[in-house]
Amino acid sequence: MTEQATVTVGVIAKELGVSDAKVKKAIEALKIEPVAKRGVCKLYATDVVDAVKKTLA
């Protein structure tokens, strides 16, 4: 299995300079599913950042 680069909601929020809540709402609106989970933390593919950025623009 190939290791895929992943990001959390917090990392996406920090990169875009917005709150975690705004990122979570954007992800829910786009119906994006996490690629993995680590404990309670949902991990998303790095290409999600661009989709969230467009949604918040």
**Which residues have a Cβ under 8 Å from the Cβ of 20 and sit 6 or more positions away?**
9, 10, 13
Q: Is residue 48 part of a domain?
A: yes
Identify the DSSP state of 18.
S
What is the total count of domains within the chain? 1
pTM for the full predicted model: 0.86
pLDDT at 23: 96
User: Tens digits of per-residue pLDDT, 32-47?
Assistant: 999 999 999 999 999 9
- Report the candidate in 3, 6, 4, 8 with the shortest Cα–Cα distance to residue 41: 8
Q: Is residue 1 part of a domain?
A: no
User: Tens digits of per-residue pLDDT, 1-16?
Assistant: 446 799 999 999 999 9
Domain that residue 34 falls in: 6-56
Q: Is residue 40 part of a domain?
A: yes
Are residues 45 and 4 in contact, defined by beta-carbon separation less than 8 angstroms? Answer: yes
